[in-house]
Structure 1
Amino acid sequence: MTATALRVRARLRLRQDLPSPAERRAIRKAAGLSQGELAEAIGVTRQAVSHWEAGTRTPQGAMLDRYVSAIRTLRDAS
């Protein structure tokens, strides 16, 4: 399998690991973080996290990778 195919496959897995917007919010709240704190941790604005949790936008590229990693970490820690 080519390197490009592996990257595409990894991206598809990340999208499958991204919970629904309501679950994302619940995971963040259960961890005791504000949207601003999560945003700062992954290097985006509070408004971006707000849009992702409302389901009006979906993170893309490197932001998707960081957001999924953060959500997984928060979920596993609870």
Structure 2
Amino acid sequence: MTATALRVRARLRLRQDLPSPAERRAIRQAAGLSQGELAEAIGVTRQAVSHWEAGTRTPQGTAMERYVSAIRTLRESA
């Protein structure tokens, strides 16, 4: 399998692991984090997290990777 195919598979897996916008918000809130705190932890703006939780935008690239990783971590620690 080529490196490109592996990257595509990895991105598809990330999209599958991304919960619905309402679940994202619930996971963050259950962890006691504000949008700003989560944004700071993953290196994006608070507005980006707000859009992702509202479902008006979807994270892309490395932001997606960091966001999914953070959501997984928060979910596991709940």
Q: Secondary structure of 2:71's partner?
A: helix
Alignment of 1:1-78 (within 5 A): 1-78=1-78
Q: How many residues align?
A: 78
Give 1:5's aligned amino acid: A
Q: Gaps (5+ residues) in structure 1? A: none
Following superposition, the deviation at residue 60 of structure 1 comes to 0.4
Cα RMSD, aligned residues only: 0.4
Aligned to 2:58, the other structure's residue is in SS state: coil
- The percent identity for this pair of structures is 90
Runs of 4+ in 1 over 6 A off after TM superposition: none
Q: Which amino acid aligns with 1:37?
A: E
Aligned-partner Cα distance in 1 for 2:56–2:11 = 20
TM-score by length of 2: 0.98
Q: 1:68: how far off? A: 0.3
Normalised TM-score (structure 1): 0.98
Q: Residue type matched to 1:15 in 2?
A: R
